[in-house]
Amino acid sequence: MIGGADRHGSPLWPLVVQLAMLSMTAIGGGIVMLAPDVHRIVVEAHPWISDQQFAAAYAIAQAAPGPNMLYVTLIGWQIAGFAGAALATLAVVVPPVVLMLILLRIGHRRSPGTLGRTIRAGVAPLSVGMLLAAGWILARASDTDWRSGLVTAATALIMLRTRINPIWLIGAGALLGVAGFA
């Protein structure tokens, strides 16, 4: 079911162009927030992949290590194999990175003044608040009963009180899930 499908000519370039355009509108949370738009492109507007393939790609990318936006990589792979995977990833990554590099270069040349530093220091609490909100939203989605809620709370507590490598906690979470606790 997953794999390089070639249904209507090569959808690779239209996919790359549309993803690249979408990537520049992915503000605050990146392409993950734009999953509905990606869905519209690859499932609804074009017969490139099925609804089930989209859902599988999204779930696998959430479970896999790395940035969650890599579901786009998997969609590219479903549509056009390895070239699709590579180009779809680059399509969503390159435009924002080019913008970032341009801004860094401008900022570098002007040498960061007091104003720039004040702006960044000012918005830092907002950024922490929004990260907390992202954790909260994920908790609301994944904590289906009191037990998984307890796992989330215990994880947060352990992270705050110890310097354990979080990978162990992820492993413990997987075991607890298999054991039927979370």
Partner 1 sequence: MTDEASTGTIPPATPERRARAVTPATLFLAFSQMALSGFGGVMPFAYRAIVERRRWYTPAEFAEMLAFGQVLPGPSICNVAVMIGWKRCGLGGALAALAGMLLGPSVAVVLLGALYEHFESVPRVEHALGGMSAVAAGLIIATAINMGIGLFRDRTAPKAFPRMQATLLALAFVAVGIAHWPMLGVIGALGPLAILLAWWRRA
Residues 67 to 106 in contact with partner 1, rule: CB under 8 A: 67-71, 73-74, 77-78, 82, 85-86, 89, 92-93, 95-97, 99-101, 103-104
Look at the chain and count its residues: 182
Residue from the set 36, 65, 106, 110 that interacts with partner 1 by CB under 8 A? 65
CB atoms within 10 A of CB 172: 15
Whichever of 45 and 131 has its CB closer to partner 1, that residue is 131
Whichever of 13 and 168 has its CB closer to partner 1, that residue is 168
Question: Please, what is the minimum distance in Å from the beta carbon of residue 2 to partner 1?
Answer: 6
Whichever of 9 and 82 has its CB closer to partner 1, that residue is 82
Question: Please, what is the minimum distance in Å from the beta carbon of residue 55 to partner 1?
Answer: 11
3-state secondary structure of 67: coil
CB atoms within 10 A of CB 155: 17
Distance in angstroms (rounded) separating the CA atoms of residues 3 and 57: 12
Distance in angstroms (rounded) separating the CA atoms of residues 85 and 16: 10
Residue from the set 5, 38, 43, 173 that interacts with partner 1 by CB under 8 A? 173
**In the 8-state DSSP scheme, what is residue 78?**
H
Distance in angstroms (rounded) separating the CA atoms of residues 42 and 31: 14
Stretch that binds partner 1, among 11-19, 41-49, 58-66 (CB under 8 A): 58-66
Rule CB under 8 A: is residue 55 a binding residue for partner 1? no
Residue from the set 56, 79, 80, 91 that interacts with partner 1 by CB under 8 A? 56
- The long-range contacts involving 99-104, CB below 8 angstroms and separated by at least 24 positions, are 99/24
Whichever of 11 and 77 has its CB closer to partner 1, that residue is 77
Residue from the set 17, 45, 55, 133 that interacts with partner 1 by CB under 8 A? 133
Q: Are 152 and 143 in contact (CB under 8 A)?
A: yes
Rule CB under 8 A: is residue 135 a binding residue for partner 1? yes
Stretch that binds partner 1, among 4-12, 18-26, 42-50 (CB under 8 A): 18-26
Residue type, 156: A
